[in-house]
A and B are shown apart, each in its own frame.
Chain A
């Protein structure tokens, strides 16, 4: 009777690294044969590799958990789906079905939301670049426009004049919530008095009315108290505006930046331990909000949800196309998807799962992507058993920022599928082919090659 095979491995024992579980099959290895009940084999058989897979169930569950965390603590909560996190139509539509309005940061994103059937008044228009035409369209359609700078105030007044009516706008603030780096490039600074000056300017102009405040303190914020400091300052400022100019704040938009269960590179503790739960954030925020508000005031609390809602719903399945040994003896694998598809690999250490049980001792290994560039490494020190070509590596969580920031560089972008709640698999973005790459190009007559010459 032949025994099951595992590839031969020899590891030198090094002081400080003599931990059996660094190598052990039972503890360090994770196997995933299916996503929401659909087998990884079947998925790749039908849709190829690499392949982005979204779980509708996880996305909806996470959204509801997060929404409930806030709405059970404060009576007037609205979520704005942050398009830049993931603007695949299917994902946006799913978030809108759950009750989210749209939060867009460019003319392109605005168009996307409108095309999806979202009316202007259900769109929050943020960002430092709002071209005149887009601004006018947004105002006409009733979108919530959050002003980023003085020039934009002038633009909005021009629009108001043209439409011959008063236009309600929100103001983007930046403030010190104890988070570094402080995002001072967006909006008006609170502590220096810049925001108050801008409000004065708006009041003096007479064409605009401030009815909301917006702020976004950063990204992947791990301290719930930072949001508490943020909203306390915002509300205080809101009352100052009422006092000074009679502006009534109907909404406070505290932005997003909530962490997902991604593992930031260089953070020692696992995310389950290091990252506070969404309830802790909701508690800190709603508590500080209620403390700061005057009795009887219940302005709308707007949360820009993004990463924390969608990240964990996304997986990328890749396949090993080659195994090699580097000059120093380190085992290296080339996968068919790399940083071209996983932009977030630059700051996250992904959860890596294998599509099958593999025996043998783990070795420190490197996973490279398909690019001909040195930066294309998804993981530069992972404990893996020796893997055969064709073994699939499943990376997660990858639902946030990858399908918006991925690169087209030298490869086609692959299929993106959604495993629906009923277990069906739907393509939500088709794999690209050469026509997608060439469609917008024009080849001048004199550069056309005849017979390849």
Chain B
């Protein structure tokens, strides 16, 4: 294969890491792709910009919150200058913009492999009941609230403690009604309505990463358990597992919803019961874990997006360990200066 220019965002490998560096590293390891990684960054201090063995060239992007036209102008500029065969957006905030203008990307000759807008909306926590039903797994008792009265009624009905969640982001445990009310106000102020109240299910927190082919088929899935997490709740050590009911549920997720593109499912497992907690419509930051055990999902996604034949998804072994570690690099100020003044590094 000729060399492929692949745009990857979320190269902020910081204490709350984006998935970009893991995605880029996975692509680099797939030798058949000959991947040249174009990092798309939002800040001159994103570590990926400086990791030149993973990211070949980086560009500062206008914020996706701004004018979509400016964002796409910038993509066109990068394509003209560097080539841009495939794009893998990895941040939640970017997805609505990409999904809304996915046709334009195609016209620009940039391949993507993203969920549809309808699938994307299913990740809303007010929609999880529908998804859980289609996956044939359980959902912790859930109430969708659009007023304080409803919240209080929901807390009464579910019984304390409860989780109080924003429809897309943030979740807090509440042990008293007063706490639930204050979380409710905080979530409404930041994310608006609705707010979701969920009973707390105790059990093992297990996760699945995967990619669906959009026609009900799987490009690969890997199940893991987080052994330890950081203060921000991000995985630090983990282990691959094979919890059959959960992996079956993940395959049903792919099949029933005809999921297209990457995803992460967060579940709680109690015996054979699997509860759905959250769907992320993108790769998680620990995506390299799957690559490390032989299931290189970013590379498989790229091949599939380009219509390149590849073997069926490989299996993986349970009991492989994931250890994240910190490491430092020292470089010259020049790269930083370039990122600031030119918006390009590399």
Contact = CB atoms under 8 A, between A and B. Distances in A.
User: Does A touch B (CB under 8 Å) in the complex?
Assistant: yes
Interface of A: 13, 15-22, 24, 27-28, 30, 178-182, 267-270, 272-274
Contacts of A24: 62, 343
A27 B146 contact: no
A106 B61 CA distance: 50
Contacts of A30: 67
A13 B44 contact: yes
A159 B134 CA distance: 57
A19 B60 CA distance: 7
A21 B343 contact: yes
A272 B68 contact: yes
Interface of B: 42-45, 60-68, 70, 73-74, 93, 96-97, 100, 144, 146-147, 192-194, 339-343
A178 B65 contact: no
B61 A21 contact: yes
Contacts of A13: 44, 340
The 3 closest A-B pairs by CB, nearest first: A18-B44, A20-B343, A21-B62
22 contacts: A18-B45, A19-B42, A19-B61, A20-B340, A20-B341, A21-B60, A21-B66, A21-B343, A22-B63, A24-B62, A27-B62, A27-B66, A28-B66, A28-B70, A178-B144, A179-B193, A180-B146, A182-B146, A267-B192, A268-B65, A269-B93, A273-B100
A419 to B, nearest CB: 24
Contacts, number: 79
Contact of A21 (B45, B63, B146, B341): B63
B1 to A, nearest CB: 33
A27 B147 contact: no
Given A13-B340, A27-B74, A20 B60 contact: yes
B339 to A, nearest CB: 7
Interface SS majority for chain A = loop
Contacts of A267: 192
Interface SS majority for chain B = loop
Contacts of B42: 19
A24 B44 CA distance: 14
Given A21-B70, A270-B68, A182 B44 contact: no
A179 to B, nearest CB: 7
B339 A27 contact: no
B45 A270 contact: no
A269 B65 contact: yes
A24 B100 CA distance: 25
A182 B42 CA distance: 39
Contact of B146 (A20, A22, A179): A179
Nearest to B98: A273
B73 A19 contact: no
A270 B43 contact: no
A198 B192 CA distance: 34
A269 B97 contact: yes
A270 B93 CA distance: 11
B263 to A, nearest CB: 21
B102 to A, nearest CB: 12
Given A18-B339, A20-B60, A273-B96, 11 more contacts: A15-B45, A21-B66, A21-B74, A22-B63, A24-B62, A27-B70, A178-B194, A179-B146, A269-B64, A269-B97, A270-B68
Contacts of B97: 269-270, 273
Given A19-B43, A24-B343, A274 B96 contact: yes
Contacts of A22: 63
B146 A178 contact: yes
A42 to B, nearest CB: 27
Contacts of A274: 96
A176 to B, nearest CB: 8
A47 B225 CA distance: 69
A15 B47 CA distance: 12
B113 to A, nearest CB: 20
B63 A18 contact: no
Nearest to B70: A27
Contacts of A272: 68, 100
A19 B100 CA distance: 24
Nearest to B147: A180
B12 to A, nearest CB: 10
B64 to A, nearest CB: 8
A182 B100 CA distance: 30
A270 B96 CA distance: 10
A74 to B, nearest CB: 23
A451 to B, nearest CB: 58
Contacts of A27: 62, 66-67, 70, 73-74
Contacts of B192: 267
A274 B342 CA distance: 31
A273 B96 CA distance: 7
Contacts of A181: 147
Nearest to B342: A20
A178 to B, nearest CB: 6
Contacts of B193: 179-180
Contacts of A15: 43, 45
Nearest to A263: B65
A24 B74 CA distance: 12
A200 to B, nearest CB: 27
Contact of B340 (A18, A180, A270): A18
Nearest to A16: B43
Nearest to B60: A20
A273 B68 contact: yes
B338 to A, nearest CB: 10
A13 B45 CA distance: 10
Contacts of A179: 146, 193
Nearest to A18: B44
Contacts of A28: 62, 66, 70
